C-alpha cells in the first residue's frame, strides 16, 4: 500500500518524539508499504515564531508572517529525514513548494490549488521516504504561503489524493474519534468508522481532531482517512464514504461546544434581504455565525437568532445593532454562558423518533432547551453551559453509545 | 547610493537588536540611499538547529543539514522586513533562492555560481527594502544549499557585485580592522583603509572579522567593502584596491594566531614528489597545513616543517608518520604551544629593511624565532605562545602603528 502519514506538532515535539515517529515510519515500511510522511512544526515552534513577530511589529503583515512561520515545518522535515537515514532508511525532506504544493496567494489562509508531486514520486521510485513539510506551499510566483488552521492535515490529504494513496493516516495524540468526549463521558467508545459527513458534523460542533477542510478534500477525492494515535499501534477511526453495515447505529456520537453565546434580532420585518443585511457585516469582520434559527413569522415580523463564539459576542453586538436598526427591527437581545450539544449520525435521516428521543432524554435530565437546529445528519440543542456535561451523558446513555462495537484490534 | 548592508548574527540576536538594525536601515534610507539588507541567523540559532540534528542523527547528511540550518536565516529575514514595515518603511523578505542566489550542489559548502537578482531589483524599483536571507542559495534543481563559513558575508558581497552596488557594508560587533588586537595592544588604532590583499593576509593570520571568500569576491568584482560597527554610526575600515596615499604606512597591522603547532619531517630525500606525498593525506583529511617551510638541502636531504591548528596535531602526526616512512624520511618531530605573529602591508614589497627591523624588535624583546615565512605583503614568525603578546606589542611599537592616521569621523 501507499500510505501518507501525517505527524502533528505534539507527535514531533522533541528529538525523542521525532525518533519515535521514525520508528513507526520504519515499521510501516518494514511491513511492505510505501510511506510519504507529512510533518507539522515541533510543539510550540509556531507560537514562538509568532511571538517573535509581535516583538518586532505591532501588526505583522501576512506575507512576512507566512515567510516566518513556514520555517516551523521546514525545521521538522529535515530532522525527520535525517533521523530516518540514521535508522538506515533512505529518506529525503521536501518543503511544501518542493513537494509541488501550489496554492492561492491568500497569505496565512491559502487554498491548495493543485499538487504536482513530481519530486515525491521520484523519491518513492528511488526507494526513499519523502518527508514533506506540511502547512505550506507556494504560489505560481514562488511566494511562500501557509494554509491556515489544519494546514498540515490538508497537505496530507491533498497529497494522498494527488498520489492516489491507499490511505491517509492522521497520527495524533488521541486514539481516534470517540462517541463523546471521554473527559465528560467515561464510558465513551472509540468509533471504528465514521463517514466524511459525520466527521464534518462532529468536528464543526467541537470534536477538534481534524480540520473540516482536510475532511472535505478527503470526501471530494475519496481518500480514506485513518485518524489514529501516534503513541500506540492500535487502529483508530477510519473516515470513509460508507460505514460498514454491522457497525451501524443511528446515532454515532455526541458532540459538545462549550463556547457559545447567542444573539437575537427581535421583531424583524418579514421581507427579502433582511438576513443578508444582518450577516454581511459579521462576515466582513470574519465572525463566524454558527447555528442560525428563524421561526415562521407572525403578523409580518419574526425573531432571528444565531450563535457565535463567546469571544466574538461584543464585536457581534456592535455590528448587529446598527444593522438591525437599518432593517427596522424592534431590537437586539443576547445571552452568553451557553453550550451546544449535538447528536450526529448519517443513519438519523429517515429514522422517526430520533429527535423526540433526544428531547425526552434532555427533559428527563432536567435540562432546558434554548434553541434547536437540525441538519440531515445532526440535531443540535443549545443549552445552559452548566448543564452541558449532564446533557452529553444523558444523550450518550439514551442512544446506547457505550455499546458501540469496538474497532477491530 | 545603492548600499548592501550585511547584519551578522550578533547584530540580529534578539528582537531588540533587530529593531536597532531596522532603525539603522531606516536612517540610511532617510539619508537618500537605496538599501538591500542581508541578514544572518539570530545569535545561536544555527548552533541550536545543529544540536537538534545531532539529537536525532549520529551523522546528519549534508543535504538534510542544509535544509535544516537554512531556516536560521529565513527566520531573521521576515522578522527584519516586518519590523521595517512597522516603522513605515516598505520592505520585503527574500530567501536566498528567491533573491536569485544560484549555487553549486556542494551541500554545506556550496559556491555561489551566479546571482540573478530579478526580485531584488523589482523590490528596489517599487521603493521597498529587500531583506535577503544570507548564507543560503539553491541549485538549478531547486535544492537548498548553504555556503559554509562566512556565508552571509559572501552573499552580501556577491549580491553587491551583481547589483553594481556602490558599497557593501559589513555591520559587525567590532569597529573595523585594527592595527593589532586591542586586547593585546591597548594603543591599537582603527585602520581607515586596507587593500583586499592586506585584508586577506590579516584574516588568514587571525583577524577573524570577515571571511576570505567574501574578500576575494570583493576584489574580483571591485566591490568596496566597509567593515563597521552595528552599534554606532562612526566609519570603520574600507576594504579597497588602493589605499589613499596619505594614509600609507609600510606596515599596516600586526596579526596573531595563538593556536599553532608545528610538525617537522626530518631528513627528507631531495627529490620530486616528496612534499606532495606528505601533504596529500592531510588535504584528504581536511587538515589545513598553514605555514610551510623547507630549507635548501644539504647532502641530498632537507627538513620540511609546517604548522597546523593545535587541535589537528594528533591527526596530522598519524597521517604524516606513515607518509614520511614511505618517502624514506629520517623521522618526524613536532611541538605544540606555538603562535604565529605577522606584520602585514602592501607597502612592504620593495622596501628594504622591514624584515630586519622586525627581527631586531623581536630580539630586543627577548623573543626567539622558531620559523620564518614571507609573502609579498606579509612576514610571519613562529614563536613560543607565551611570548606572542609581547611580540605583537614590540612589533606594533617598532612600526609606529599607534601613530596611524585615524579614519575621518
pLDDT of chain A along its 409 residues, tens only?
999 999 999 999 999 999 999 999 999 999 999 999 999 999 999 999 999 999 999 999 999 999 999 999 999 999 999 999 999 999 999 999 999 999 999 999 999 999 999 999 999 999 999 999 999 999 999 999 999 888 999 999 999 999 999 999 999 888 888 899 888 999 999 989 999 988 988 876 555 678 888 999 999 999 999 999 988 999 999 999 987 765 566 788 999 989 999 999 998 888 888 888 888 888 888 888 888 888 777 777 888 899 999 999 999 999 999 999 988 898 999 999 999 999 998 877 677 788 888 999 999 999 999 888 888 888 999 999 999 999 999 999 999 998 865 544 3
Q: Do B95 and A63 touch (CB under 8 A)?
A: no
Facing B79 at nearest CB: one of A15, A56, A98 = A56
Q: Do A85 and B22 touch (CB under 8 A)?
A: no
Q: Do A82 and B144 touch (CB under 8 A)?
A: no
Facing A85 at nearest CB: one of B49, B57, B75 = B57
**Does the pLDDT value for residue B405 go beyond 80?**
no
Facing B57 at nearest CB: one of A55, A64, A83 = A83
Residues of A with CB under 8 A from a CB of B: 15, 18-19, 22, 49, 52-53, 55-61, 63-65, 67-68, 70-71, 74-75, 77-83, 85-86, 92-93, 95, 97-98, 142, 144
Q: What is the ipTM of this complex?
A: 0.82
Facing A56 at nearest CB: one of B56, B59, B86 = B86
Q: Which residue of A has its CA nearest to B133?
A: A67
Q: Do B59 and A86 touch (CB under 8 A)?
A: yes
Q: Do B92 and A63 touch (CB under 8 A)?
A: yes
Contacts of A80 in chain B (CB under 8 A): 56
Cα→Cα distances A322→A262, A286, A289, Å: 17, 17, 17
Facing A75 at nearest CB: one of B68, B86, B142 = B68
SS3 label, residue A159: helix
pLDDT at B409: 36
Spatial distance between the Cα atoms of A10 and B305, rounded to a whole number of angstroms: 57
Q: Do B79 and A98 touch (CB under 8 A)?
A: no
The upper half-sphere exposure of residue A384, i.e. CA atoms within 13 Å in the direction of its Cβ, equals: 8
Residues of B with CB under 8 A from a CB of A: 15, 18-19, 22, 49, 52-53, 55-61, 63-65, 67-68, 70-71, 74-75, 77-83, 85-86, 92-93, 95, 98, 142, 144
pLDDT at B381: 92
Q: Which residue of B has its CA nearest to A13?
A: B52
Rounded to an integer, the average pLDDT of B311-323 is 93
Contacts of A70 in chain B (CB under 8 A): 74
Provide the 8-state DSSP code for B58.
S
- Cβ atoms B70, B77 nearer than 8 A: no
Q: Where are the domains of chain A?
A: 2-173, 254-403
Instruction: Please write the tens of the pLDDT for every residue from B247-304.
Output: 566 788 999 989 999 999 998 888 888 888 888 888 888 888 888 888 777 777 888 8
Helices and strands in chain B, H and E counts: 11, 18
Q: Which residue of B has its CA nearest to A84?
A: B57
**Does the pLDDT value for residue B64 go beyond 70?**
yes
Helix (H) or strand (E) holding B258, with range, is strand B253-269
- Cβ atoms A249, A190 nearer than 8 A: no
Contacts of B128 in chain A (CB under 8 A): none
Spatial distance between the Cα atoms of A49 and B347, rounded to a whole number of angstroms: 51
pTM (predicted TM-score)? 0.85
CA distance B25 to chain A (A): 14
Q: Do B64 and A49 touch (CB under 8 A)?
A: no
Q: Do A68 and B59 touch (CB under 8 A)?
A: no
pLDDT at A201: 84
Say which residues have a Cβ less than 8 Å from residue A57's Cβ, sequence separation at least 6. A64, B82, B83, B85, B86
Contacts of B62 in chain A (CB under 8 A): none
Q: Which of B48, B78, B83 to mutate to test the interface with A (most CBs of A within 10 A)?
A: B78
Contacts of A83 in chain B (CB under 8 A): 56-57
Q: Do B55 and A22 touch (CB under 8 A)?
A: no
**Does the pLDDT value for residue B204 go beyond 70?**
no
> Which of A232-246, B81-95, B99-113, B321-335 is predicted with the least confidence, judged by mean pLDDT?
A232-246
How many other β-carbons are positioned within 10 Å of the β-carbon of residue B214? 28
Q: Do A57 and B86 touch (CB under 8 A)?
A: yes
Say which residues have a Cβ less than 8 Å from residue A31's Cβ, sequence separation at least 6. none
CA distance A5 to chain B (A): 19
Q: What is the DSSP string of A111-145?
A: -EEEE--HHHHHHHHTT-EEEEETTEEE-TT--EE
Q: Does domain A2-173 have CATH number 3.40.1160.10?
A: yes
**Does the pLDDT value for residue B151 go beyond 50?**
yes
Facing B79 at nearest CB: one of A15, A53, A79 = A53
Residue B186 CB burial class (10 angstroms; 0-12, 13-18, ≥19): exposed
Instruction: Please write the tens of the pLDDT for every residue from B321-378.
Output: 999 998 889 999 999 999 999 999 887 766 778 888 899 999 999 999 988 888 888 8
**Does the pLDDT value for residue B5 go beyond 90?**
yes
Facing B15 at nearest CB: one of A55, A70, A98 = A55
Facing A15 at nearest CB: one of B55, B86, B142 = B55
CB contact burial A394-403 (16+ within 10 A = b; e otherwise): bbbebbebee
Contacts of A22 in chain B (CB under 8 A): 56
CA distance B344 to chain A (A): 43
Plot region of A141 (φ>0 → left; ψ -120 to 50 → alpha; else → beta): alpha
pLDDT at B207: 55
pLDDT at B408: 43
- Cβ atoms B192, B228 nearer than 8 A: no
Q: Does domain B254-400 have CATH number 1.10.10.10?
A: no
Instruction: Please write the tens of the pLDDT for every residue from B210-255.
Output: 888 899 999 999 999 999 998 899 999 999 998 776 556 678 899 9
pLDDT at B274: 82
Q: Which of A19, A63, A67 to mutate to test the interface with B (most CBs of B within 10 A)?
A: A67
As a whole number of Å, the end-to-end CA separation of chain A is 20
Provide the 8-state DSSP code for A272.
T
Residue range B2-246 forms a domain whose CATH class is alpha beta
CATH topology of domain A254-403: VC0802-like (3.30.2130)
**Phi and psi torsions of B150, nearest 5°:** 70, 15
- Cβ atoms B73, B136 nearer than 8 A: yes
SS3 label, residue B95: coil
Helix axes B151-163, B118-125, angle to 10 degrees: 70
Facing A67 at nearest CB: one of B74, B85, B142 = B74
SS3 label, residue B358: helix
Contacts of A98 in chain B (CB under 8 A): 142
Say which residues have a Cβ less than 8 Å from residue B237's Cβ, sequence separation at least 6. B176, B177, B190, B191, B192, B193, B194, B226, B227, B228, B407
Amino acid at each position: 500500500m501507499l500510505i501518507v502519514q501525517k505527524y502533528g506538532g505534539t507527535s514531533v515535539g522533541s528529538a525523542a518524539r521525532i525518533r519515535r515517529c521514525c520508528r513507526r515510519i520504519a515499521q510501516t515500511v518494514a511491513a511492505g508499504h510505501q510511506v510519504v510522511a507529512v510533518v507539522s512544526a515541533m510543539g510550540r515552534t509556531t507560537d514562538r515564531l509568532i511571538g517573535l513577530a509581535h516583538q518586532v511589529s505591532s501588526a505583522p503583515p501576512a506575507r512576512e508572517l507566512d515567510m516566518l512561520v513556514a520555517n516551523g515545518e521546514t525545521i521538522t522535515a529535515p530532522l525527520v529525514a535525517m533521523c530516518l537515514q540514521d535508522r538506515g532508511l533512505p529518506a529525503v525532506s521536501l518543503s511544501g513548494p518542493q513537494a509541488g504544493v501550489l496554492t492561492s496567494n491568500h497569505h496565512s489562509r491559502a487554498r491548495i490549488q493543485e499538487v504536482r508531486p513530481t519530486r515525491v514520486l521520484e523519491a518513492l521510485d528511488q526507494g526513499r521516504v519523502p518527508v514533506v513539510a506540511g502547512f505550506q506551499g507556494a504560489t505560481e510566483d514562488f511566494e511562500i504561503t501557509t494554509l491556515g488552521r489544519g494546514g498540515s492535515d490538508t497537505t496530507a490529504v491533498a497529497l494522498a489524493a494527488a498520489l492516489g494513496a491507499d490511505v491517509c493516516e492522521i497520527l495524533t495524540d488521541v486514539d481516534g474519534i470517540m462517541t463523546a468526549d471521554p473527559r465528560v463521558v467515561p464510558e465513551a467508545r472509540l468509533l471504528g468508522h465514521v463517514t466524511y459527513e459525520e466527521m464534518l458534523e462532529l468536528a464543526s460542533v467541537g470534536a477538534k481532531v481534524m480540520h473540516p477542510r482536510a475532511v472535505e478534500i478527503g470526501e471530494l477525492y475519496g481518500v480514506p482517512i485513518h485518524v489514529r494515535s501516534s503513541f500506540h499501534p492500535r487502529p483508530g477511526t477510519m473516515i470513509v464514504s460508507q460505514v460498514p453495515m454491522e457497525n451501524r447505529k443511528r446515532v454515532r456520537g455526541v458532540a459538545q461546544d462549550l463556547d457559545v453565546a447567542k444573539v437575537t434580532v427581535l421583531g424583524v420585518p418579514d421581507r427579502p434581504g433582511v438576513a443578508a443585511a444582518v450577516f454581511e457585516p459579521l462576515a466582513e469582520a470574519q465572525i463566524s455565525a454558527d447555528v442560525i434559527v428563524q421561526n415562521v413569522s407572525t403578523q409580518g415580523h419574526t425573531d432571528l437568532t444565531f450563535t457565535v463564539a463567546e469571544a466574538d459576542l461584543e464585536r457581534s453586538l456592535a455590528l448587529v445593532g446598527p444593522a438591525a436598526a437599518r432593517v427596522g427591527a424592534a431590537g437586539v437581545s443576547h445571552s452568553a454562558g451557553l453550550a451546544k450539544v449535538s447528536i450526529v449520525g448519517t443513519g438519523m435521516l429517515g429514522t422517526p423518533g430520533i429527535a423526540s428521543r433526544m428531547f425526552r432524554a434532555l427533559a428527563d435530565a432536567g435540562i432546558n432547551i434554548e434553541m434547536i437546529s437540525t441538519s440531515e445528519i445532526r440535531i443540535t440543542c443549545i443549552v445552559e453551559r452548566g448543564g452541558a456535561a449532564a446533557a452529553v451523558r444523558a444523550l450518550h446513555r439514551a442512544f446506547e453509545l457505550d455499546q458501540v462495537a469496538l474497532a477491530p484490534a
